[in-house]
């Protein structure tokens, strides 16, 4: 996908709540591609968010979303999935308070759009069903690395972003949100929040669980005997445990179904090995090889 640099920004002011790897990379992409005129970062740690500003990722830094909410055209919540709904409601409440205390409303952002980047959508979208400004997103891009220091302006290029509107989501705003993600280099697809969660349980959450489990089986005696295969297979296990605990709990039912399906595959492997069934072993290996070859033909994200 060719890189598109905009002569005129699509959005005037974008506020990013949570400037870590994803938020920092988004900020870098917005500035690099001229998608937003002004990028404001909101964080809980004043020193950290100021450091992100000094690093050039954002134009302004604050710990108080209420101080910038009325200037925003679009707010992206890049906080953990178990905090997104609360953070959105804080922003909504701040906007209401500002509106009720100002007689002049010409600066009110009636077109203000709120979205997030969480890899679990149904619980968030259900809790925020009454917030008409909110439409869920999941840019399927990331890394096991953490913090804005690992930000990459090209992180989203060629990756897929799932947009999860609900029945009450305005079509115009859904289209606007898709264009926003496309502007940082992503392809987009619309899914229901529930369908998204079922799919991501199999493509992201279960693989992370398996990688973490496999990594935990490695004894210190065998560590020096690992090659690139083991390291590639377990790479995502290096992700933040607190962040992934929230993801696993938020999508537990879909992940449990995935575990059941995976256990059936493991049982087939166990039976084939126990019976020394070379034909069945080769069949199972071929199934995996074929599926992996098909994956290589698809541009995918890392989550």
List the pLDDT tens digit at each of the 303 positions of the chain: 457 777 678 899 999 999 999 999 999 999 999 999 999 999 999 999 999 999 999 999 999 999 999 999 999 999 999 999 999 999 999 988 866 554 333 334 568 999 999 999 999 999 999 998 999 999 999 877 789 999 999 999 999 999 999 999 999 999 999 999 999 999 999 999 999 999 999 999 999 999 999 999 999 999 999 999 999 999 999 999 999 999 999 999 999 999 999 999 999 999 999 999 999 999 999 999 999 999 887 755 444
DSSP assignment of 14-65 equals EEEE--SHHHHHHHHHHHHTT-EEEEEEE-S-HHHHHHHHHTTS-SEEES-G
Alpha-carbon distance of 57 to 23, in angstroms, equals: 10
Backbone angles phi, psi at 106, to 5 degrees: -65, -25
Residue with tokens 């259900």: 126
Q: In this structure, how many other beta carbons lie within 10 angstroms of the beta carbon of residue 41? A: 28
Closest by Cα among 216, 237, 232 to 292: 232
Place of tokens 């640099």: 5
Domain borders along the chain are 11-191, 198-296
CATH code reported for the domain at 198-296:
1.10.3660.10
Q: Report the C-alpha gap between 100 and 80 in whole angstroms.
A: 30
| Fold (CATH) for 11-191 | Rossmann fold (3.40.50)
């Amino acid at each position: 996908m060719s890189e598109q640099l905009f002569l005129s920004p699509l959005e005037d002011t974008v506020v990013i709540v949570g400037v870590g790897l994803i938020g920092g990379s988004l900020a870098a992409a917005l500035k690099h591609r001229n998608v937003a005129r002004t990028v404001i970062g909101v964080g809980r740690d004043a020193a950290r968010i100021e450091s992100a500003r000094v690093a050039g990722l954002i134009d302004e830094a604050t710990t108080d979303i209420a101080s910038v909410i009325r200037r925003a055209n679009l707010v992206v919540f890049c906080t953990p999935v178990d905090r997104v709904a609360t953070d959105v409601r804080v922003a909504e409440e701040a906007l209401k308070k500002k509106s009720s205390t100002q007689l002049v409303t010409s600066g009110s952002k009636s077109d203000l759009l709120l979205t997030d980047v969480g890899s679990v959508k149904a619980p968030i979208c259900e809790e925020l069903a009454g917030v008409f400004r909110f439409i869920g997103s999941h840019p399927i891009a990331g890394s096991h690395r953490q913090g804005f220091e690992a930000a990459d302006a090209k992180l989203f290029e060629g990756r897929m972003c799932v947009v999860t509107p609900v029945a009450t989501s305005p079509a115009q705003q859904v289209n606007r949100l898709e264009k926003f993600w496309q502007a940082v280099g992503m392809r987009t697809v619309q899914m229901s929040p529930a369908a998204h969660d079922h799919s991501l349980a199999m493509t992201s959450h279960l693989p992370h669980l398996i990688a973490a489990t496999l990594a935990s089986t490695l004894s210190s005696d065998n560590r020096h005997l690992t090659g690139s295969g083991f390291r590639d297979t377990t790479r995502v296990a290096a992700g933040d445990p607190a962040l992934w605990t929230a993801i696993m709990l938020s999508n537990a039912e879909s992940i449990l179904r995935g575990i059941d399906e995976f256990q059936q595959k493991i049982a087939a492997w166990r039976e084939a090995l126990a019976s020394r069934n070379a034909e069945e072993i080769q069949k199972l290996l071929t199934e995996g090889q074929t599926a992996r070859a098909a994956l290589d033909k698809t541009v995918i994200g890392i989550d």
